[in-house]
Amino acid sequence: MKILLIEDEHRIAKALAEVLIDQNYLVDIASDGQIGWEFTKAFPYDLIVLDLMLPKLDGITLCRQLRQEGYSIPILLLTAKDTSTDKVIGLDAGADDYVVKPFDLQELMARIRALLRRGTTILPSIFEWEKLRLDPNSYEVTYNEKPVHLTPKEYRILELFLRHSHQVFNRNEILKHLWSFEEPPGEETIKVHIRSLRQKLKLAGANIDFIETVYGLGYRLKQTF
């Protein structure tokens, strides 16, 4: 899961990003509303954590702009303002939830998890494809009940394919979904990760083309029908 954190207070942004990364989320940080807007146009996100008071483009304006442009990404507002009027303005602008600073970190993380679940209610809690099983709660992967030990990037690539099991992803799309803005590798890196992932699945008993190449388009899970 990839989160965009739009927060101009460096100390808060850094601390919150560290907690999110420890919870296995990918995080991009934008220090003002305009940069946040550019990020949302360039990269796919599962959630936006948005400060209300921002330079260049404030949180309410950005929230309205995102909704007017048709973005349905869940938005969690962070603000020091704690009046009913402020909350109503934020929710009417299109925010899905509202947390007041200073916030309790455990409560904030719970609200983030709730919003992410809300955005994926049609997806199963356990992902299965043939004899493959991936548990996003424990980060465990098995094939024919044998554990498959993956690197974090290999795991995220496999999870991406399972969450969108009939979609073809080219290398650039995989980069946008699974790498943060500050750590973009070359597209050749994707080939290396795919090759390693295929080999590990093969060792567990899967076909080497369990993740198949759709020539000229990208990669997807091998269709079995």
Per-residue confidence (pLDDT) for residue 121, from 0 to 100: 44
Which residue type sits at 95?
A
CA distance 13 to 21: 12
Residue 184, token pair as written in the block = 């973009």
Question: Angle 160-123-151 (CA atoms, 0-180°, nearest 5)?
Answer: 30
Shared fold status for 2-119 and 127-221? no
CATH architecture of 2-119: 3-Layer(aba) Sandwich (3.40)
Closest CA to 202 of 107, 109, 131: 131
Q: Which residues pair with 172 in a beta bridge?
A: none
Residue that the structure tokens 């796919």 belong to: 44
Pairing mode, if any, of strands 132-135 and 140-143? antiparallel
Per-residue confidence (pLDDT) for residue 157, from 0 to 100: 92
Given a contact cutoff of 8 angstroms between Cβ atoms, the answer to whether 73 and 112 are in contact is no
Cα of 153 vs its chain's centroid, Å: 13
Given a contact cutoff of 8 angstroms between Cβ atoms, the answer to whether 45 and 17 are in contact is no
pLDDT tens digits for range 83-117 = 677 778 888 888 899 888 888 888 899 899 888 87
CA distance 115 to 96: 8
Per-residue confidence (pLDDT) for residue 22, from 0 to 100: 85
Q: Provide CATH code, domain 127-221.
A: 1.10.10.10
pLDDT tens digits for range 190-209 = 889 999 999 999 999 999 88
Which parts of the chain register pLDDT below 70?
82-83, 119-124, 184, 224-225
Q: In what order do the strands lie in the sheet with 127-129?
A: 127-129, 132-135, 140-143, 146-147
User: What's the predicted TM-score (pTM) here?
Assistant: 0.69
What one-character-per-residue DSSP string does 37-105 give? HHHHHHS--SEEEEESS-SSS-HHHHHHHHHHTT----EEEEES---HHHHHHHHHTT-SEEEESSPPH
Domain ranges of the chain: 2-119, 127-221
Per-residue confidence (pLDDT) for residue 82, from 0 to 100: 67
